[in-house]
Every structure is written in structure tokens, then in C-alpha cells.
């Protein structure tokens, strides 16, 4: 049976475009209906309960985000994709906060985005379909949905608790949350595909063995690879030793690593929902502790929020990716991640921040290069799936290098080979005193020929171009460091600060000191 799609958009041409952009049938979907306003969209969804809703924000009547919010309250597991011309951070953040599965900017939408989306949804459905063995109760299914960041009402969870099967909830208990590391990556690399049942049984065996000497223990799987163990309030050190031993046995028995979070002690059925949410939240300490780690909630503080004002300069610098500055870009990224670690910053907010930075880079570069763009959607997806600080850092190294090389490649295509060599030479020697003689020797041609071909291709005098690049670099150093102006001048190859001041004022219109004062203000 095909999965059904509702498209909500006021533009009839867009509706037809979506219909014809891909062969929906090939991916197991069919567009069942199209509407152009919020009222009809709500009515249609209530009648047919579509498997996927694609909606714009600006509708003929009503609003796409209002539609999303109202349906999510009634049907928390509904799937929404928002496609809009709005690309600002706050709008995207609001859509995701309301429960959107994904967000695309309409003007940048490609058929590949739909294909990737449907493949991802099909894979997610596959995981759900094959993770329900041994998930016997509605409670465990709801736990899985909560883990997947679906909004599930507390009353619904408490109603699903069968106290006869979970008598431990009448007393004081701890939660022992366990989860396979890097589930998304393992699934997509097909490391485990058809052996999920075996994996589930191996995990069950190790859990039962680990807690065999503790009475009244209850194991609740929310997925085949994750869940919680409800345990009585024994000494915390006992559970820490059990957790460490269990991690070793799980890795030995399954071939995969896991992380465990031990909650503080709570009492009563009424505490179950809030404690589960809290334990999931603290499980994010795995981001800093790394794979195969144990987090004890009583031993770690809560996370702090990202303070955008304190790091705005670093954000601005990271959006100015180039081959020339790639070392400084990666250093800035490392310093920022180290700062976040020292501040115990919420990992989810860190992930969101770097996804936003990639969006800012994409928007900036789209103004220069209208076609052949980098695959920023894939990059954001990679960032969103990072589970540890180390993994995020490594992925960002790759991403920033890829973007820098892409930008340089797009620039290089404008000019002939020798001019590209000149541009690269200037990039690589920006901290030195660059002369026509140096460039001519590097290219193996005369100084006059160097100047002539550069002027013919770019329309600029070469010495003027070199000075402009040096001053641009100087501005970046002045904005993102506390270097003295004398040191800035030396860092971009000016031995004489007075000459640096003269060149700076000629290009920018004011002196370096006045520019810095304005930047500070």
C-alpha cells in the first residue's frame, strides 16, 4: 500500500511542479490531495491522516506553521516538511521547534532533495517496523517516540503504564538508560541490517546477566537497540560498577559500543514521564564523554545555553571560508568547541548553531555562484547526526575544507591557468611582502607579462589587487583578534606601519585605528 501525501501551497504552478518533480510511485508514495489554505488542510488531514504533509508557510488563507502546530497537537506522530521562501534562522528554528521533520528553502529546492527525503523516511519506517519485536506495550512505543523527539503528552504516557507489570514504580527507583552508539551511521553504512533481532537478543542477554542479582528489575526496550532498566535504589557505586562491566560485555557480545546514563532516584508513577525526559536530556553528556561512556546524573551539572552575543565574532569569521584562511578557520572552530566544552554548553544547541553557520555560508555564496552549489543539505544532515564532540570536530574539518576548495574551484573557473596561479600565490603568501618579481619567478614568465595578463583577465592592476587582499586580511585580524595595529601590519606583509596606514586609508577611506574604533562601537 502506498503512503499518502498532502501538499499545501497557494501556488498552483508549484503544486504541479511537486507532482512532476519525481516519480513518487517509485518511492512508495502518492500525492493524494493538494489544498491552498489552512482550514481545508486541517479538514483534509483529519479525514485521511496522511503519511506525509508538505506545506508552505504563506497560504491563501491561514498559515503553514499554525497548521503544523495544530495538527501536531492532535497527531504527535504526523510528519511535516516545510518548504518556504523564508530562510531566516528564527523561522527555520520555529518550524523545527513545532515538530517539522525537515525544512527546505523553495528557491533552492532540487529533485534530489525529495529523493533523499523519501529515502530517509522509508529507512526510518524500516527501523520502526523492525524495532517493534519485544516492544510489547504502548508505553514502550511511546518511549521510542519521545526518544525520536516526537511530542507525546504526559497523560498519554501515564495512562499507558500497567502498574501490575511495573510494581517498582510504586516505590523509589532509578533509570538505567542504555543506547547503541551512532545508530544512524551504523544503519546507513549497512553494518547491521538484517541482524537487528540478533542484536536485540544479545542486548537482552547481557542486561539480564548484569542485573540477575538485583530484585524487581524491569527492562523496557524503546527500540531494538536502546531503552531503560528500572532498578531499586541500591548504592550508586554498585550501579556504576555494573554499568562499566555491562558496557564491556555489550561490546564483547555484540561488536558495538553503547553509552549508559544512570538517573537520580525518584518515587512513584507520576515521576516516570518527567524522569525519562530528564534522563534522555542528561544522556547528551555522551557528546563530551565520548562513546562507550557512563554518565551519572548526580555527578554532572545541567547544560548551559549558547550565548550568541559572546561568540558572534567567531560565527562571523567561520562564515568567511576560504582556502587562504582554512587553517585559521579550523583553529577558530577548535577554540569555539573547546569553549563550549568548558562552559558545559547544551550539545543540541551546538549542533543547531553549526547547522545555522552552514546555512549562512550557503546564502552568502549563493549570491556569487547561482549554479553548481555545494551539497549543503547533506552537510547539515551530517552535522545533525553527530553524537560526540570529537565526531563533530572531525566532520567540520572535512566540511570546511570541502567548502573552501569548492569556493576556490568556482573562482578558478573564471580565469585562465596563469591568472589562477597568481591568485593562489597571493592567497598563500599574504603574510609576506609580495613583489612582481616573486610572482614572475613562480610562473616562469616576465614581470611585464604577469601584470599584462592579470589586468586583461580581471580588469585590475595586480599591485592594487595584492594590496586589497592584504587589507581585507588585515580587517579580519582586527575584527577577530586583539592584535596591535603594528602587529596586524606585519602579519599581512607590511614592514612599515606608516605605509600600511596609507594603503589602508586609500582602500577603506579611514585609518586603521578609526576603523577599529568603529568596529568596537
Any idea where the domains of the chain sit in the sequence?
3-126, 137-299, 308-412, 417-520
How wide is the angle at C-alpha 182 spanned by C-alphas 393 and 331, nearest 5°?
0
Alpha-carbon span 159 to 419, nearest angstrom: 71
Specify the pLDDT at position 295: 96
Alpha-carbon span 295 to 261, nearest angstrom: 5
Contact 64, 99 (CB under 8 A): no
Q: What's the whole-number mean pLDDT along residues 45-64?
A: 88
Domain 3-126 and domain 137-299 have a common topology: no
Q: What's the whole-number mean pLDDT along residues 399-406?
A: 87
Q: Which distant-in-sequence residues (6+ apart) come within 8 Å of 183 by Cβ?
A: 223, 225, 226
**Length of the chain, please?**
521
| pLDDT class of 136 with cuts at 50, 70, 90 | very low
pLDDT, one tens digit per residue, over 157-202 is: 998 898 888 999 999 999 999 999 988 777 655 454 446 778 888 9
| pLDDT class of 67 with cuts at 50, 70, 90 | very high
Q: Which CATH architecture has domain 417-520?
A: Orthogonal Bundle (1.10)
The sign of the dihedral angle between the CA atoms of 295, 297, 300, 301 is positive
Long-range contacts of 461-464 (CB under 8 A, 24+ apart): 462/422, 462/436, 463/436
What are the strands, taking DSSP E only, across 132-211?
172-180
Task: Specify which of 108-122, 261-275, 318-332, 467-481 reaches the highest per-range mean pLDDT.
Answer: 261-275
Residue 371 has pLDDT above 90, yes or no: no
CATH superfamily, domain 137-299, is: Reverse transcriptase/Diguanylate cyclase domain (3.30.70.270)
Rg of the chain over all Cα atoms, to the nearest angstrom: 28
How wide is the angle at C-alpha 147 spanned by C-alphas 145 and 149, nearest 5°?
75
Q: Which of 237, 240, 239, 269 is nearest to 168 (CA)?
A: 269
pLDDT, one tens digit per residue, over 197-243 is: 788 889 999 999 999 999 999 999 988 889 999 999 889 999 999 99
Residue 30 has pLDDT above 90, yes or no: no
CB atoms within 10 A of CB 127: 18
pLDDT, one tens digit per residue, over 437-453 is: 998 888 888 888 888 88
What are the strands, taking DSSP E only, across 187-300?
218-223, 226-231, 258-262, 266-267, 294-296
Q: What's the whole-number mean pLDDT along residues 312-330?
A: 79
What Cα–Cα distance (Å) separates residue 288 from each residue in 46, 184, 315, 513?
Answer: 43, 19, 21, 41
Q: Which of 298, 498, 328 is nearest to 404 (CA)?
A: 328
Q: What's the whole-number mean pLDDT along residues 394-422?
A: 79
Residue 277 has pLDDT above 90, yes or no: yes
Class of domain 3-126: alpha beta
Local structure of 211: helix, strand or coil: coil
As beta bridge partners, residue 81 has 54, 102
Alpha-carbon span 250 to 244, nearest angstrom: 10
Specify the pLDDT at position 13: 79
Specify the pLDDT at position 125: 67
Residue 515 has pLDDT above 80, yes or no: yes
Specify the pLDDT at position 336: 94
Name the DSSP class of 171: S
Q: For 98-123, give the DSSP string.
A: HT-SEEEEGGG--HHHHHHHHHHHHH
What Cα–Cα distance (Å) separates residue 267 from each residue in 32, 176, 233?
Answer: 48, 15, 10
Residue 520 has pLDDT above 70, yes or no: no
How wide is the angle at C-alpha 190 spanned by C-alphas 400 and 380, nearest 5°?
25
Specify the pLDDT at position 133: 37
Specify the pLDDT at position 131: 42
Residue 127 has pLDDT above 60, yes or no: no
As beta bridge partners, residue 219 has 229
Contact 519, 478 (CB under 8 A): yes
Alpha-carbon span 326 to 328, nearest angstrom: 5
Specify the pLDDT at position 190: 47
Query: Rounded to a whole number, what is the largest CA-CA distance in the chain?
Result: 91
Specify the pLDDT at position 137: 67
Residue 488 has pLDDT above 80, yes or no: yes
Specify the pLDDT at position 414: 56
Phi, psi dihedral angles at 223 (to 5 degrees): -140, 175
The helices-and-strands tally (H runs, E runs) of the chain is 24, 11
Residue 455 has pLDDT above 90, yes or no: no
Q: Which distant-in-sequence residues (6+ apart) come within 8 Å of 419 by Cβ?
A: 453, 454, 457, 458
Calculate what percentage of the chain has a pLDDT beyond 90.
Answer: 35
Amino acid at each position: 500500500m502506498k503512503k499518502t501525501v498532502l501538499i499545501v501551497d497557494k501556488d498552483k504552478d508549484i503544486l504541479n511542479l511537486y507532482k512532476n518533480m519525481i516519480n513518487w510511485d517509485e518511492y512508495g508514495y502518492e500525492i493524494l490531495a493538494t489544498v491552498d489554505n489552512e482550514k481545508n488542510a486541517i479538514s483534509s488531514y483529519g479525514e485521511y491522516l496522511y503519511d506525509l504533509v508538505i506545506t508552505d508557510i504563506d497560504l491563501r488563507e491561514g498559515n503553514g506553521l499554525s497548521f503544523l502546530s495544530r495538527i501536531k497537537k492532535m497527531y504527535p506522530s504526523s510528519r511535516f516538511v516545510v518548504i518556504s521562501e523564508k530562510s531566516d534562522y528564527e523561522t527555520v528554528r520555529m518550524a523545527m521547534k513545532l515538530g517539522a521533520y525537515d525544512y527546505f528553502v523553495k528557491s533552492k529546492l532540487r529533485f534530489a532533495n525529495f529523493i533523499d527525503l523519501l529515502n530517509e523516511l522509508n529507512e526510518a519506517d524500516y527501523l520502526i517496523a523492525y524495532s517493534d519485536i519485544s516492544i510489547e506495550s504502548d508505553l514502550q512505543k511511546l518511549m521510542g517516540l519521545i526518544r525520536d523527539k516526537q511530542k507525546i503528552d504526559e497523560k498519554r504516557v501515564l495512562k499507558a503504564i500497567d502498574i501490575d507489570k511495573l510494581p517498582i514504580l510504586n516505590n523509589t527507583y532509578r533509570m538505567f538508560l542504555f543506547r547503541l552508539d551512532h545508530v544512524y551511521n551504523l544503519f546507513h553504512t549497512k553494518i547491521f541490517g538484517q541482524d537487528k533481532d540478533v542484536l536485540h537478543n544479545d542486548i537482552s542477554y547481557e542486561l539480564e546477566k548484569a542485573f540477575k542479582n538485583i530484585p524487581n528489575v524491569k527492562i523496557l526496550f524503546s527500540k531494538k537497540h536502546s531503552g531503560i532498566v528500572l532498578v531499586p535504589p541500591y548504592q550508586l557505586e554498585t550501579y556504576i560498577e555494573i554499568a562499566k562491566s555491562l558496557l564491556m560485555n555489550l561490546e564483547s557480545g555484540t561488536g558495538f559500543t553503547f553509552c549508559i546514563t544512570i538517573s537520580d532516584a525518584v518515587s512513584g508513577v507520576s515521576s516516570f514521564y518527567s524522569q525519562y525526559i530528564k534522563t534522555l536530556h542528561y544522556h547528551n553528556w555522551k557528546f563530551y564523554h565520548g562513546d562507550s561512556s557512563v554518565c551519572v546524573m548526580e555527578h554532572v551539572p545541567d547544560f548551559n545555553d549558547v550565548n550568541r552575543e559572546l561568540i558572534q565574532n567567531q560565527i562571523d569569521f567561520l562564515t568567511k571560508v576560504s582556502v587562504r584562511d582554512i587553517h585559521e578557520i579550523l583553529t577558530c572552530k577548535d577554540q569555539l568547541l573547546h569553549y563550549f566544552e568548558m562552559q558545559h554548553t547544551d550539545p543540541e544547541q551546538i549542533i543547531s548553531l553549526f547547522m545555522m553557520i552552514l546555512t549562512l555560508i550557503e546564502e552568502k555564496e549563493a549570491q556569487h555562484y547561482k549554479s553548481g552549489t555545494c551539497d549543503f543539505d547533506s552537510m547539515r544532515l551530517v552535522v545533525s547526526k553527530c553524537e560526540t564532540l570529537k565526531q563533530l570536530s572531525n566532520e567540520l574539518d572535512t566540511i570546511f575544507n570541502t567548502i573552501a576548495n569548492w569556493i576556490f574551484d568556482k573562482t578558478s573557473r573564471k580565469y585562465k591557468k596563469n591568472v589562477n596561479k597568481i591568485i593562489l600565490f597571493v592567497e598563500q603568501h599574504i603574510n609576506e611582502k609580495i613583489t612582481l618579481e616573486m610572482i614572475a619567478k613562480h610562473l616562469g614568465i616576465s614581470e611585464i607579462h604577469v601584470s599584462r595578463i592579470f589586468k586583461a583577465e580581471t580588469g585590475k592592476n595586480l599591485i592594487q589587487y595584492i594590496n586589497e587582499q592584504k587589507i581585507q586580511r588585515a580587517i579580519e585580524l582586527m575584527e577577530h583578534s586583539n592584535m596591535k595595529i603594528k602587529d596586524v601590519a606585519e602579519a599581512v606583509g607590511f614592514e612599515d606601519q606608516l605605509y600600511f596606514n596609507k594603503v589602508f586609508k586609500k582602500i577603506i577611506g579611514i585609518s586603521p585605528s578609526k576603523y577599529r574604533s568603529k568596529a568596537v562601537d
